[in-house]
Amino acid sequence: MSAARLKSTGRYRVPVASQAKETPINNLKTLATLMDREAGFAVPIRPQGAATSSTDCNRCATGTIALMSGLDRILNIDSYNHTVTAQAGVRLYALTEALAEHGLELIGNHEMTGRTLGGAIAAPCLGPSIGNQHGSLASSVTSLKMISGNGKAMTIGTDRKNLLGAVCSSYGLLGIIAEATLKVQPQTNFSATHRKLTIANFCSIADTLSNSDVGFRFALMPHRDRVYLDLRRYSADAGETYNMPWKIKDWGESTVLPHMCKSLNRLLPIQSVRYRVIDTVSQATQGIVNSRFVRSGNNGTMQGRTASSIKKVLYSTWCFPASDFSFVVQAYRDFCRENYERTGYRCDVPAIGYRICKDASSILSPSFDEPMVALQTTSTQLDGWEDFVIDLADFAEHWAGVPIFNQTRSLRADYAKQVYANRLTYFRKLRRQMDPENRLLTPFMAQFFQ
């Protein structure tokens, strides 16, 4: 059923049995050889970081997959000028830990710290924005070294802002990033408060929140009419911050909950009973992890979702204009309920959402024009998921959703072209210069970028 639907709507998916050769990249010389046109590596070449994306952007059916996580050296932390230089395969949690030893942190609240620096720059790395600066990690990049699709080694800095903005969020389509320098900041504490609300109550404050400089993140349970809201404000009075409460919160949300959902799905065959139990467990977990226990933090303490837990969930992310979100969230609840009634499929894990501020630092930024709310729909249930994400894509298109090429499942190419319009045209032009032989282009990426 879903394969037929995919085909009928022209959506492409990499076959499960891929023939591509995986090539570990452990040093710059191997990367240079791989990108050398004379070296004879099979094309297309796809860079892969921690492979936490939910689309086929980081793999290919034939050709070469460049495994970047071996390039994992932190090259310099400049405590005086507040910068860090690191290779592309460094995991964000390693970077965060090294910076914390110098009293520094990455700019922006970034979860999923199992991802690599290269993946976080080449694909949007989003998190709840506090204030109106820094929607993504890419906005703090000051320079990077890469090898372009035509094999040219390049160093790109803020003096070539347009090119830097194109390479950030380029999904490895202009070249492979080898290392990057980022602005960082002294550790700054924020206070975190928590609320449990009905969806209607959440809607009544969503507009006010979206227009303020408070950072917010929420867990949404459409079938229980519940929102667990987490509000973050920079505050001199935030008090001591500790890693442990955030680690427990992360463990509860990203490991314990998906595990329990998976087990309950196996143990409880009667659907109505199963979902009643799963929702009760989810509510209890949210109640515990978002307690007064987690009262303050900084961008170093809130290290979420390391690589070990990433394979346990399926997800698809869409961004919606923050100005409309109070309507979207109610429509989303109705969509989930109607879809469940019609198809028998529903997500078992709460959806996660957060506001991202306007950020035009990279050309393909999803919040290029205005602040958005990212909504990450999550499940552990594979049976029915592919059909669900097609319906979700139809819903999102109706509500002016903005897709992210590495996180949005079952995206229609025509819709993506319509949303990214002139920015995509400009990006394609640049691509033709930097990768004229399409060595980095796979059939999946070609749907959007050729």
Ligand X SMILES: Cc1cc2nc3c(=O)[nH]c(=O)nc-3n(C[C@H](O)[C@H](O)[C@H](O)COP(=O)(O)OP(=O)(O)OC[C@H]3O[C@@H](n4cnc5c(N)ncnc54)[C@H](O)[C@@H]3O)c2cc1C
| Chain contacts with ligand X (rule: CB under 6 A) | 46-53, 57-58, 68, 88, 111-112, 115-116, 118-120, 122-127, 171-172, 176-177, 305, 310, 313, 315, 406-407
Residue 352 CB, nearest distance to ligand X (Å)?
7
Non-local CB neighbours of 184 within 8 Å, separated by 6+ positions:
77, 82, 83, 84, 99, 104, 105, 106, 107, 140
Residue 424 CB, nearest distance to ligand X (Å)?
15
Place of tokens 């891929």: 18
Helix H, strand E, coil C: the string for 355-422 is EECCCCCCCCCCCCCCCEEEEEEEECCCCCHHHHHHHHHHHHHHCCCEECCCCCCCCCHHHHHHHHHH
DSSP calls for 313-325: -EEEEEEEEGGGH
Residue 355 CB, nearest distance to ligand X (Å)?
12
Asked if residue 64 lies in contact with residue 40, where contact means CB atoms within 8 angstroms, the answer is no
Euclidean distance between CA atoms 428 and 446, whole angstroms: 10
The token pair at 72 is: 């994992």
Query: What torsion do the CA atoms of 154, 160, 166, 169 make, to the nearest 10 degrees?
Result: 80
Packing angle of the helix pair 271-289, 257-267 (nearest 10 deg):
160
Euclidean distance between CA atoms 164 and 144, whole angstroms: 8
- Residue 191's beta-bridge partner residues? 233, 296
Report the run of H or E that residue 297 belongs to, with start and end.
strand 296-297
- Residue 220's beta-bridge partner residues? 227, 351
Asked if residue 46 lies in contact with residue 58, where contact means CB atoms within 8 angstroms, the answer is yes
Report the run of H or E that residue 328 belongs to, with start and end.
helix 325-343
Residue 386 CB, nearest distance to ligand X (Å)?
17
Euclidean distance between CA atoms 26 and 87, whole angstroms: 10
The token pair at 279 is: 């929702």
Q: For residue 234, give the 3-state DSSP assignment.
A: strand
Euclidean distance between CA atoms 342 and 243, whole angstroms: 44
Non-local CB neighbours of 87 within 8 Å, separated by 6+ positions:
71, 72, 73, 74, 75, 117, 178, 179
